[in-house]
Amino acid sequence: MSSPAVLFGGPSPEHDVSILTGLQAAHTLSQGGAPVTAIYWAKTGDFFSVDPGLEGEAFLDGAPKGARELKLAAWAGGFVAAKGGLMGKERPLEISAVVNCCHGGPGEDGTLQGALDLAGVAYTGPSVAGAGLGMDKLAFAGAVAAAALPTLPRALVEPGRAAPWATPGPFIVKPRFGGSSIGIEVVEDWATACALAKDSVHLRRGAVAEPYLPASYDLNVAVRTWPELQLSAIERPLRSPGSSEILGYKDKYLGGDGMVSAPRELPADIPEELEKAIRDAAVSVGALALVRGVARIDFLVDDGNWYVNEVNTIPGSLAKYLWVDPAPVPFPTLLADLLVEAVRRPTFRPDATGADGTLLRSAASIARKLG
Hey, what amino acid is at 47? F
Higher pLDDT among residues 254 and 132, named by residue: 132
Evaluate whether 126-150+215-329 and 153-212 have a shared fold. no
User: What's the pLDDT score for residue 87?
Assistant: 47
* pLDDT higher than 70, residue 7: yes
User: What's the pLDDT score for residue 325?
Assistant: 85
User: What's the pLDDT score for residue 267?
Assistant: 96
CATH 3.40.190 fits 153-212, yes or no: no
Query: Per CATH, which fold does 5-123 belong to?
Result: Rossmann fold (3.40.50)
Q: How does pLDDT run across 166-182, given as a tens digit for each residue?
A: 889 999 999 999 876 78
Q: How does pLDDT run across 119-166, given as a tens digit for each residue?
A: 999 999 999 999 999 999 999 999 999 999 999 999 999 988 899 998
Q: How does pLDDT run across 320-369, given as a tens digit for each residue?
A: 999 998 889 999 999 999 999 999 999 998 889 999 998 888 887 776 76
CATH assignment, 126-150+215-329 = 3.30.470.20
Contact 19, 55 (CB under 8 A): no
Residue 294's H or E segment, with its range, is strand 294-302
- Using a cut of 0.75, tell me whether the model's pTM lies above it: yes
User: What's the pLDDT score for residue 366?
Assistant: 73
User: What's the pLDDT score for residue 89?
Assistant: 66
User: What's the pLDDT score for residue 371?
Assistant: 58
350: cis peptide before it, omega within 30°?
A: no
Overall size of the chain counted in residues: 371
For the chain, domain boundaries? 5-123, 126-150+215-329, 153-212
Surface-to-core class of residue 239, CB atoms within 10 Å of its CB (0-12 exposed, 13-18 middle, 19+ buried) = middle
DSSP state of 316: G
DSSP-assigned beta bridge partners for residue 312: 296
DSSP letters of 324-363?
TSSS---HHHHHHHHHHHHHHS-S-----TT-SSHHHHH-
Mean per-residue pLDDT of the chain: 91
Give the residue ranges of DSSP H helices in the chain: 15-31, 105-108, 111-119, 128-135, 137-146, 190-199, 249-253, 272-288, 331-344, 358-362, 366-370
